[in-house]
A and B are shown apart, each in its own frame.
Chain A
Amino acid sequence: MAERPEDERSSELSSGEAIDSGETSYLIEPGNIGSDSTDSTSTEFDFDVVVRETHPHIRAYIAGMGVPRHDVDDVAQDVYVELYRFSDRIPEGVHPKQWLKGIARNLCLNYFRRQGRRQRLQREALVEILIRAEQEGPPSLAEGPIRRALDGCYEQLPDESRRLLELRYERELPSQTIAEMLSSTAEAIRVALFRIRNGLKQCIASSLAAEGT
């Protein structure tokens, strides 16, 4: 696995602030994203409001780094425990969500560090690739009332697509089982899910753009 370039690492570190929580040093990124209603510059914030407004993004962010779905919420809860403990350390001017992303990234790395060496190196490599993808990719799913947009787009899906999503996500059936139920193949199911998610992404992006987010 290739290490990230030293200059990139150092530039990232220097652009933020390391917090010593006693166990882990957390990276604080400078924040310029402030589309949420939470006051990005105030250190006086309502914990519940921050959690409520940021958790869909943070959980998806953690999933976007390759954390298995069944562990995403555990890691996300750790993120918010850190917020609870160290909210007074959020630097002025840094949006809580940006701070949370820094925490999330570090906790994800910690998560992968518990695995065997080869797996750990692979997962860390993937995390780096996915973080770079986040920085290089369009911001359409990063901001705004994404859950509301998803709800709206979900309602527009044809019944067949919703049925497939329910089988996959509500009943948590693997593609193989779904394929057996629908007389299809696991690969065909994965392709269909892939396309549905792509359609949702475009719909969400349009919806958020229309809302001016």
Chain B
Amino acid sequence: MNEPVPNSADSGPPDRGPLDRTHTDLLIKQYVEDRLSLSPEELDQLIEALRAQPALAIELRTQLLLDDLLAQKLAFDRRNFLAQVGQRIGDFEQGEEELFSQVSELRALAEAELVEKPQHHRSSKLTMAVVATLAASLAVIAFLAPQYWPVAPRPMAEVREVQGDVFTVKGDQRALVRVGDTISTGTPLEVRSGARVQLEYRDKTYVEFGSGTKFELVADRKSQAKLVRIDQGEIVARVKPQKDLGPMVFSTPHARALVVGTELRLTVEPEQTRLDVTEGKVNFERLTGGTPLLVSANHSGVANQTGLVLRDLKWPDSDEHLLFTLHESGIPHVRNPETGNPRETELEERGPVRSIHSGEVYALAGGSYFSSEAGEDLVTNIRGKGAFTIEAIVIPDSIFRVKDSRIMALGDNGKQANFQLLQRDDDLIFNLWTDGSKEPRELKLGDVKPDRPVHVAVAFDGQRLTGYLNGVACGEVTEIRSGLTTWGTGALSLGSDASGQHVWRGMICGLAISDKALADFEVVKSAGQYQTLYARRDVGLTWDNLMADGFDPKRFAAAGNWQLVDDSWTNDAGTDAWFGLGPVGLKNYDLLVDVHWEKGDGPLRMTLPVNERRGVVVLAKSGSEQKTSLQDMGGTPMSGNSVSSDHVLPQGRTTRLEVKVRLHKDTASLAVTCDGEPWLDWTGSPDELPEIESSTLPSPKKPVLVTANNVVRIESIKIRDLNRMASSAIGQ
């Protein structure tokens, strides 16, 4: 099968004998390439030759078969035959119904005519002619009509999420889109500035349309393949494998992206279309032709009037103006103001913090990160430029306990700073001190959801301070007339002020500070690139915050007279006090509890469902002889699988308990940490654990904190149910 590609003009057909045979060979090859290419005379010659030499006919037929099989395999428009058949069947059925209906009406009309005007019987020949003409017309209609009937609107997708104003547009009329609406072909949609909408196709393909996007859903007439026409704006798509339908096509004024199954983002601007690919590969081609690009994961393609450009996708997009970033393999880098080059810098850990995902994500559980060196370099660099942009991807804290909690700050002494990014309830606030001002200029960025990642950007150009959430401008302070030349030297702190106060408990998933004010479109692009690269990872960092939607502890199964006190839930010291920490039916799950043990001698116990069994974690008090262990409810270490730890639960301050339960085939694991420190780690067969049914356990099928005889304040409860968690990174 080693067939060379011809590279010379003399590679003629093989010599098989006389000249007419050679000519026949030429005809055969030409015919195989294009069945309509032969002249009538040549076709006659071919037929004659084939009749004379049946072996040639067999060879020709074999070539025709192979030619078609290769076309079936390789030609784009022939890969979706099954869907085309489905469509033809659908058209056939629709045509049958409509034709039947039309013919019935015409027949009824004709019958009525005949009844009402019997005198027409006299001109029976004329009537026959009319009827014959009518019948012939109907036959022609029956044959031709299905090809030319306008395509009826076809339901394509359902609205899953809407934020802000999204409209369907019909002429001058606009109708608001709501969750649950079905979007059909032929209906243009507009997403207003600051809004977004997520659609779900029947095959679980998700497409999210961002702020300012105008688009329309289309279905290929024959194959039903999904098409999306985007005039402007931004989309993020997670496309399921399209199998027989043919590729899903995103069409913009500049280009087409052909997607078989992948994750991607398209940004459509007036001058260009940009494609960022998260996963898989996407064929990207300009509408004006030319060689298409195959854009693979973590790459980006840009189509404009001059051509197609392929490049690596990264965040932050450019190093040119970068002063500080955490995204260099998890090692913080700051620009050395003396050399202008980036250098590694160290963030000092203060209190309960930890970095995850190769150090690129900073989880703050009551502590902070601190760097005098980074702070000084930043101050020097920014002072010199008089402008900056801070981009941070943060997962906010529970909203109830945050009062001006510092997400990050520069030179923050608790009262004054160079700048502060802080969370106040469910608002993000940015405070900027300029020359000679004792009070900061305050920029309100807007509401955020606890435990959902948000891209925050603040840009200062010397006069105007602009804030963005997820790439959308959401506030600005103008006419700032003083500069930054008198900024004082101070440390960079994450998660608290410089003295460790104003603690913020959340996560910083990305941070980049640059020495210029990014333009609106640059912020949009940057937010998009971050999401393309990291949104999926960040989904795994989000939680269901059980305290986010309300304060009523009665929503949770409980005993012990739990009450709301200072944004927390507190019990009395009854002998039967307990509190439900999550729903029933958890299998693979993470649990996070911020607990403040106020009174009592302990111990506290957490009962945790593990594959229809239960583990009981005993949390002992400092000074107690009883140590933390995995025990049965009677306080006795379980036979054969007793696990104990020397750790004790501190009193008088809030402690973060994190639980991780995993099932893998016949093995289960249970891990508990306290303020990020490993506390208890057990792996084994779930059969080793006690049966879940037990009269001594309250609500044994859900995680429970048993606080009997102790007074406890629960400040936060979060659950991550891995079995239910959607893998989608869109719309988080």
Contacts and interface: CB of A to CB of B under 8 A. Distances in A.
A64 B71 CA distance: 13
Interface stretch (A10-18, A27-35, A37-45, A146-154): A146-154
A126 interface: yes
Interface residues of B, number: 58
Given A55-B81, A199-B1, A194 B35 contact: no
Interface of A: 1-2, 48, 51-52, 55-56, 59-64, 66-69, 72-73, 76-78, 80-81, 84-85, 118-119, 122, 125-126, 129-130, 132-134, 136-138, 141, 146-147, 150-151, 153-154, 156-158, 160-161, 163-166, 168-170, 172, 174-175, 182-185, 187-203
A196 B64 contact: no
A133 B12 CA distance: 26
B67 A63 contact: yes
Interface of B: 1-14, 26, 29-36, 40, 43-44, 46-47, 50-51, 54, 57-58, 60-76, 78, 81-82, 84-85, 88-89, 92
A25 to B, nearest CB: 18
A158 B2 contact: yes
Interface hub of B1, B4, B36, B84 (most chain A Cβ within 10 A): B1
Nearest to B11: A188
Contact of A52 (B12, B36, B66, B82): B82
Given A81-B89, A138-B58, A197-B66, 12 more contacts: A60-B69, A64-B68, A69-B68, A76-B81, A76-B85, A126-B46, A132-B54, A133-B58, A141-B65, A161-B1, A191-B13, A200-B70
Contact of A184 (B6, B29, B82): B6
Contacts of A199: 1, 3
B61 A81 contact: no
Could you say which of A163, A192, A193 has the most chain B C-beta atoms within 10 Å of its C-beta? A193
Contact of A137 (B31, B62, B85): B62
A60 B68 contact: yes
A52 B74 CA distance: 18
A119 B65 CA distance: 22
Tell me which of B4, B29, B32, B66 has the highest count of chain A C-beta atoms within 10 A of its own C-beta.
Answer: B66
Contacts of A81: 85, 88-89, 92
A135 B84 CA distance: 30
A192 B6 CA distance: 6
19 contacts: A51-B82, A68-B34, A68-B36, A69-B71, A77-B81, A129-B50, A150-B69, A150-B70, A151-B73, A153-B1, A156-B1, A169-B73, A184-B7, A184-B11, A187-B29, A191-B29, A192-B4, A196-B3, A197-B67
A161 B5 contact: yes
Contacts of A133: 50, 54, 57-58, 60-61
B35 A185 contact: no
A202 B188 CA distance: 52
A190 B22 CA distance: 13
A58 to B, nearest CB: 10
B50 A169 contact: no
A130 B64 contact: yes
Contacts of A76: 81, 85
Given A133-B60, A150-B69, A191-B13, A172 B75 contact: yes
Contact of A187 (B1, B26, B34, B85): B26
Contacts of A190: 29-30, 32-33
Contact of B73 (A154, A164, A184): A154
B12 A194 contact: no
B713 to A, nearest CB: 61
Contacts of A48: 82
A197 B70 contact: yes
Contacts of B64: 60, 63-64, 66, 130
A126 B84 contact: no
A160 B4 contact: yes
Pairs A-B, 10 closest by C-beta atoms? A63-B68, A188-B6, A188-B11, A169-B74, A137-B58, A133-B57, A190-B29, A160-B5, A197-B66, A170-B74
A70 to B, nearest CB: 9
B92 to A, nearest CB: 5
A165 B70 contact: yes
A141 B82 CA distance: 21
Contacts of A185: 6, 9, 11
B89 A136 contact: no
B147 to A, nearest CB: 11
A200 B2 CA distance: 10
Select the residue from B5, B32, B72, B84 with max chain A CB neighbours within 10 A: B5
A157 B66 CA distance: 15
A200 B71 contact: no
B50 A170 contact: no
Contacts of B35: 66-69
